Amino acid sequence: MNNINGKTKTIGLIGNPVEHTLSPFIHNMLAEKMKLNTVYVPFHVKNGNLKEAISGASALGILGTNVTVPYKVDVMPYIDELQERAKIIDAVNTIKFINGRRYGYNTDADGLLTSCKRAGISLMNKTICILGAGGAARSVAVMCAEEKAKKIIIVNRTVEKAQELKLAILNYFNIEIQVLGYDAIKSQSEVDVCFQTTSIGMYPNSDVTPIDDENFFKGLRWAVDIIYNPSETKFLSLAKASGVSILNGLGMLYFQAVKAYEIWNDIEIPDAILEECLNQFTDYVYSKKR
């Protein structure tokens, strides 16, 4: 980053707030290891300024941006060409600007899928439970449907939102989807993989979990929490105590960033560099040196 010069290409993050983002660390590390002349900076875009921010980024010749809360859906009208995956997920987290045109992508499902595959989690023909029905749950559901899961069970506090998610997925995929409440899921013993996608258990409220029933965990093979802080949520601790294999959300965060960086630069990052950067990123997040 000390080598910024006249040829440096800028990449940014559009969101509100952006102060706590880990994305600059990942993207500037990837640039250094790949020896690419890019710099990644956060852009705090206040409410009401999104349209101008996108036009401005395009006019400034910025290579691309990530888009985070609360703009992942709001940004869609300002995109010229939408990747099919982003259309299905109905949210954009990555924009690439080419000759004044805006190309929109969603890399969240890519990130989670890569993380799952590296952990050895297979989704094909599996019964999957998704806790939550928000934006992240939609990416998870699309990933499971694309990977040809046998069945998806969506569990959400607000049942109507779970029903909406079910219908949205059925618009694009032919897959069995069941909507259940938290009480009903406790007695389910058929679930192979459970994805925890609610914000319950996130730091500093780390002592809560959306589900704590031992019977539920006993039947599981994998518990995945897309939260990465704390590294082991209460949901994951309980699963582990029941002998279930666990995975947290740090890999999802890292690999969605990797995919975005590959899109902006039209490259494929070699495995050795991916591994080295993941180790460095994990140290950065969990060593409390930040």
Q: Which residues are catalytic?
A: 72
CA distance 161 to 96: 31
Q: Binding to ligand NAP by residue 227, rule CB under 6 A?
A: yes
- Compare residues 53 and 226 and give the one whose CB is closer to ligand NAP: 226
User: Among the candidate windows 2-10, 46-54, 192-200, 232-240, which touches ligand NAP by CB under 6 A?
Assistant: 192-200
Minimum distance, C-beta of residue 125 to ligand NAP, in the bound complex (Å): 25
CA distance 193 to 182: 16
Q: Binding to ligand NAP by residue 157, rule CB under 6 A?
A: yes
Tell me if 209 sits within 8 A of 235, measured CB to CB: yes
Q: Binding to ligand NAP by residue 31, rule CB under 6 A?
A: no
From 76, 82, 168, 202, residue interacting with ligand NAP (rule: CB under 6 A): 202
Minimum distance, C-beta of residue 107 to ligand NAP, in the bound complex (Å): 10
Q: Binding to ligand NAP by residue 115, rule CB under 6 A?
A: no
DSSP-assigned letters across all residues of 62-124: --EEEE-TT-TTTTGGG-SEE-HHHHHHT---EEEEETTEEEEE--HHHHHHHHHHHHT---T
Beta strand 193-196 pairing with 127-131: parallel
Residues 124-143 that bind ligand NAP (CB under 6 A): 132-137
34: which residues sit within 8 A by CB, 6+ positions away?
265, 267, 269, 273
Residues making contact with ligand NAP (CB under 6 A): 108, 132-137, 156-158, 161, 197-200, 202, 210, 226-228, 249, 252-253, 256
